[in-house]
Amino acid sequence: MRKLLLTLMLVLVALVAFSQIVLTVAAGAVGQELELTKRAAEAYMKIHPDITVKVLDTPDMVQDRLGLYLQFLEAKSPEIDVYQIDVIWPGDLAQHFIDLYEYNADKVVSMHFPAIVENNTVDGRLVAIPWFTDAGLLYYRTDLLEKYGLKPPTTWDELENAAKIIQEGERKTNPDFWGFVWQGNAYEGLTCDALEWLASNDAGTIISPDKKITIANANAVEILEKVAGWIGTISPSGVLTFAEEDARAVWQTGNAAFMRNWPYCYSLSKGPDSNVAGKFDVSPLPAGKSGNGAATLGGWQLSVSKYSKNPKEAADLALFMAGYEIQKLRAVEGSMNPTIQALYADYEVLKANPFFGSLFDVFINAVARPSTATAPRYNEVSTLFFKAVHSILSGTSNAQTALEELALDLQDITGFEIVWGF
């Protein structure tokens, strides 16, 4: 009898193990992303004990992450079920993802910002559910502005002047101090920064929504030459190798007066290991000759692979992770901007991130990269752009020549008309 019971128990264990569904989420690890994604996975598994959720750590650099994703997707691999994708990728990767409208997304999609839902909709198919949105911000040291009798800069000229004054003063006791840090490496982050410079200086958005190549203009030359002048003066020469976390490291150790970065840095800058806690604030990015600052639209979405062995469960997981409670958790503890509109009126969210309310217009009016107009070749377009900008900033190329050549290269891969602005 005991032998029979033991046999039955072993069979039962085997059946449970056999019935266990395993889902893998490919997620980011910038700032607190990975930790918060794992917490969301744990919350889902408590509700669904028959499902195991694994979180795959992916590269920080956007191009590296896309390269990894393409290895899985082009091989039609079932190993990853849910992908965290950039706001610029739906058009390029749509063929690999299921239509979430077929898996109950229609019941929740109205909660999210309509513009992001539209961005994630390709040929009527919702290929990604919005997860968190982003826009570039200016971080500044309130204590140092007060110390030197300065106000938060509203133009690039004012930022340059303030950065020089503060840097000169702080260098007397701290030789490692810099005026301004940002993302200058040759990668997607530089595309974001440079698009902000262009748009703020009335220099267009590289390629217009109506598919005209507009990058070759005098205002673009002017602002990029200005930024090139920051290298080695108010920004370290090494900024040309910086990604988001490199800039944050300099800022958070107290070695910069200003930083351009995304909202996720806010909660980290307030943390117990931060040298700037209680000494900083955020504002919109400065303006050039357009008279208005510009913030590049960022953010990430969740898509479900067509090659998943469990698309129904994977879609349910994606919708859960993009739901109200998980977005609230990520907003309160990670300063990640929700895509659910109601969370911008949530007391706990606003208490943790007061700027979510005061800078709401920045987030809903952020400048989009030309990913829709150039799909499915946006990655090639962006790569040409950030390489050209990097060559200008590093001093290896003349700005006007580099932008003229860029325009011709963009025409070669898109076939779009060039609008010459010189």
CATH (domain of 226): 3.40.190.10
- Say whether pLDDT at 1 is over 60: no
Ramachandran class of 250: left when φ > 0, alpha when ψ lies in -120 to 50, beta otherwise? alpha
Asked if 21 and 104 sit in the same domain, the reply is: yes
Q: Which range has highest mean pLDDT (1-10, 227-236, 363-372)?
A: 227-236
30 band by pLDDT with thresholds 50, 70 and 90: confident
What are the tens digits of pLDDT across the range 92-131?
A: 999 999 999 999 999 999 999 999 999 999 999 999 999 9
Average pLDDT over residues 324-336: 97
Total structural domains in the chain?
A: 2
Domain residues for the domain of 15 are 2-135+298-364
Asked if 96 and 237 sit in the same domain, the reply is: no
Asked if 54 and 201 sit in the same domain, the reply is: no
Asked if 346 and 384 sit in the same domain, the reply is: no
Asked if 304 and 220 sit in the same domain, the reply is: no
Asked if 326 and 353 sit in the same domain, the reply is: yes
80 band by pLDDT with thresholds 50, 70 and 90: very high
Asked if 233 and 154 sit in the same domain, the reply is: yes
Asked if 282 and 327 sit in the same domain, the reply is: no
- Say whether pLDDT at 5 is over 50: no
Asked if 173 and 303 sit in the same domain, the reply is: no
Asked if 262 and 334 sit in the same domain, the reply is: no
Q: Which of 320, 337, 364 is the last residue of a domain?
A: 364
Asked if 242 and 254 sit in the same domain, the reply is: yes
Average pLDDT over residues 13-26: 73
pLDDT score for 219: 98
pLDDT score for 208: 95
What are the tens digits of pLDDT across the range 247-281?
A: 999 999 999 999 999 999 999 999 999 999 999 99
Asked if 113 and 226 sit in the same domain, the reply is: no
